[in-house]
Amino acid sequence: MSDQLRLGHPAGRFLHAEVEGFDSLAELALDLRWSWNHATDGVWRTLDPRLWELTHNPWVVLQTVSREQIQQVLADPAFRKNIDALLQAKRHETETAAWFQQKHPKAPLTSVAYFSMEFMLSEALPIYSGGLGNVAGDQLKAASDLGVPVIGVGLLYQQGYFRQVIDRNGEQQALYPYNDPGSCRSHHCVNQMASGCGWRSHCPDTPSGCGPGRSRSAG
């Protein structure tokens, strides 16, 4: 495991981090591109198919499954080969000049702040409601694919928007899932995401706040 993972990576604070190969899984899980590029879906489905279908959140799956399950799947040569291939593809995409770098290699633009009250990036990050979040999220994803150095600046709602369920009497019930700002399922899972989709969030009731994400730099 790299020193960077041990010291600065949220995965370094979990017991599973000492399992050989866990750092590779963590690198894939903390790449927000899984929300629109589903190449890694099979990895999380292999670890825990039911939990994956319930959450569609790689980081939750990786935190929840047992050490024994992680070791078992990592012992499969075919599984490890697939992980290596996914990592190689991810790193190649990150290191390869995208449209913006190719068309504007000497552009003075290094970052663009995109302020929005909501971003629809994934169901695993319930900080959106509808149309505004849909548009803002899609624009961040497009900027990522094009290599445009955009940083989303939004709010990490501790309860966020409610989820609707219908009870046995046919009446609507509103559920407000709690987003713990100190949990890797919330701000760490965003701030440590891959370089393609920069992000900065604000935690109103958290003194420590949330640190910056990383974005693909111009040039």
- Give the pLDDT confidence of 153-180 residue by residue, as tens digits: 988 877 767 778 899 999 999 888 777 6
User: Contact, 156 vs 201, CB < 8 A?
Assistant: yes
**SS3 for 153?**
strand
Instruction: Give the chain's length.
Output: 219
What's the pLDDT band for 195 if we cut at 50, 70, 90?
very low
What's the pLDDT band for 125 if we cut at 50, 70, 90?
confident
Structure confidence at residue 180 (pLDDT): 60
Of 47-56, 73-82, 85-94, 157-166, the one with minimum mean pLDDT is 157-166
pTM of the full predicted structure? 0.71
CA distances (Å), origin 67, targets 21, 87, 119: 12, 21, 33
CA distances (Å), origin 91, targets 97, 195, 196: 12, 10, 11
**Residue given tokens 């075919």 in the structure block:** 78
H helix runs in 66-110, sequence order:
67-74, 77-95, 99-103
What's the pLDDT band for 211 if we cut at 50, 70, 90?
very low
